[in-house]
Amino acid sequence: MWTFTLPTKIQFGVGVSRDCAQVAREYGSRPVVVTGKTLIGTDRVREIIAELGDVPVFAEVTPNPTVQQVDALTRLIREEHCDSVIAIGGGSPLDCAKAASALAPSSESGIRAFLTGGRQFGRERLPLIAVPTTSGTGSEVTPIAVLDDPDAGTKAPVAGPALYPAHALVDPELTLSLPRFTTVATALDALSHALEGYWSKNHQPICDLAAIEAARRIFANLERVCEAPDNLEARAELSYAALLAGMAFQLPKNAMVHACSFPLSTRYHLAHGAACAFTLEFAVQFNAPALGERFSDLARACGFSSATEMAARIHAFKRLGGLPCTLADAGIPADAIPDLVQASFHPLMNNNPREVTKEDLGRMYGGLT
């Protein structure tokens, strides 16, 4: 038995972001625009804001959004009496906007009540229009937001049906200016979503199909984009793959790769995609025996004959994008391995198809020295 849910309306294609103002009118009369500090200066974001008219803009989102940013955005929404939210950017603006759009109608003043305080979101939320500018997180179709709490030194997801965007405008044109590092890091984040959605203990048939197709398209197109960054056809393939990968993991949830990514991001400040990619080769080879023929089906669909071959391709992508491949690359001292092992046991580890022990992680991190 299985259940599939996706309440988000999706518009996909080159140029669909130009419909943002028209779409916004379907959801309210007073939207707030949420974006990042670097994106606010780009021509396309300025055009979208100009088309919306005199609307408040929150451009304080940083990579790895914080609880403080969510709370500040929520205050702005309430003070400006906004009735909808438009998030433009990568996973950070989208996640910040998702959390605030669910928090704003509640009686709580801060997101910690839901992140660590035990409260659950109801279904009430402000409608959110998600406009991704990277091909990675799939946040435009998931009910999850990952937030940093610098005061507590933690990074954790907050989730619930209220966090699903109402509408997604997925425009590959917005990814054309991404530098190589970001292109590869976000694509490998999407690949992590696809593979973990596929091998999660909670996997299910529709998500499996999305996972296989997402992984196949990433393996087939990531090098093409790196060789020709203005190849819009290949960029569109990655945007579609990231969307499918978001669909693939949003119900099964992630596993060991994302569990390990949290301390890599919070303690050593790796970009989220780079943190996921850091352990991905090991996870592929570690989990393949537990999947048996299911892994063989996935590997064949992606053009590989073995887990070793797939892992080698992932490693080559990391080298191509200049992502960290060793502890030294990431600025992590070898004597930090015991603490890193301990911090990697996030609850997502329980979704892994093969039990992970401290010895397994010690071997993994030790092999990256």
Backbone angles phi, psi at 180, to 5 degrees: -60, -45
Tokens coding 241: 């793959």
Which of the listed residues 174, 203, 236 is the one where a domain comes to its end? 174
Total tally of structural domains belonging to the chain: 2
Domain that holds residue 329: 179-366
Query: Considering the domain boundaries, does residue 4 fall inside one?
Result: no
Residues forming beta bridges with residue 155, ordered by sequence position: 148
Residues 198 and 168 placed together within one structural domain of the fold: no
Residues 211 and 323 placed together within one structural domain of the fold: yes
Residues 114 and 251 placed together within one structural domain of the fold: no
Give the sign of the dihedral formed by CA 35, CA 211, CA 207, CA 250. negative
Give the integer Cα–Cα distance in Å for 206 and 210.
6
3-class DSSP string for 223-277: HHHHHCCCCHHHHHHHHHHHHHHHHHHCCCCCCHHHHHHHHHHHCCCCCHHHHHH
Q: What is the dihedral of CA 141, 311, 257, 297, to 10 degrees?
A: 60
Query: Considering the domain boundaries, does residue 3 fall inside one?
Result: no
Residues 301 and 361 placed together within one structural domain of the fold: yes
Mapped onto helix, strand or coil, the DSSP state of residue 350 is helix
Query: Mind listing the pLDDT tens digit for each residue in 325-358?
Result: 999 999 999 999 999 999 999 999 999 999 999 9
Query: Considering the domain boundaries, does residue 60 fall inside one?
Result: yes
> Cβ(18)–Cβ(176) under 8 Å?
no
Residues 108 and 233 placed together within one structural domain of the fold: no
Query: Considering the domain boundaries, does residue 43 fall inside one?
Result: yes
Residues 166 and 190 placed together within one structural domain of the fold: no
Residues 123 and 38 placed together within one structural domain of the fold: yes
Q: What is the dihedral of CA 118, 121, 122, 125, to 10 degrees?
A: 160
Query: Mind listing the pLDDT tens digit for each residue in 68-105?
Result: 999 999 999 999 999 999 999 999 999 999 999 999 99
Backbone angles phi, psi at 181, to 5 degrees: -55, -50
Residues 65 and 159 placed together within one structural domain of the fold: yes
Q: What pLDDT band is residue 1 in, cutting at 50, 70 and 90?
A: confident
Residues 158 and 198 placed together within one structural domain of the fold: no
Tokens coding 95: 């996640």
By CB atoms closer than 10 A (0-12, 13-18, 19+), residue 79 is exposed
Backbone angles phi, psi at 118, to 5 degrees: 90, -5
Supply the pTM of this predicted model.
0.95
CATH number at residue 297: 1.20.1090.10
Which of the listed residues 174, 190, 222 is the one where a domain comes to its end? 174
Query: Considering the domain boundaries, does residue 144 fall inside one?
Result: yes
CATH number at residue 82: 3.40.50.1970
| pLDDT for residue 238 | 98
Give the integer Cα–Cα distance in Å for 70 and 60.
10
Residues 286 and 201 placed together within one structural domain of the fold: yes
Question: Which residue matches tokens 């003070």?
Answer: 79
Judge whether residue 118 has pLDDT over 90: no
Return all residues near 348 (Cβ < 8 A) that are at least 6 apart: 253, 254, 255, 256, 258, 259
Query: Considering the domain boundaries, does residue 2 fall inside one?
Result: no
Query: Considering the domain boundaries, does residue 69 fall inside one?
Result: yes
Average of per-residue pLDDT across 163-189: 97
Tokens coding 237: 């393939």
Which of the listed residues 174, 207, 228 is the one where a domain comes to its end? 174
Residues 71 and 195 placed together within one structural domain of the fold: no
Query: Considering the domain boundaries, does residue 218 fall inside one?
Result: yes
Residues 155 and 194 placed together within one structural domain of the fold: no
Average of per-residue pLDDT across 45-56: 94
Give the sign of the dihedral formed by CA 114, CA 346, CA 146, CA 241. negative
C-alpha 13: how far from chain center: 20
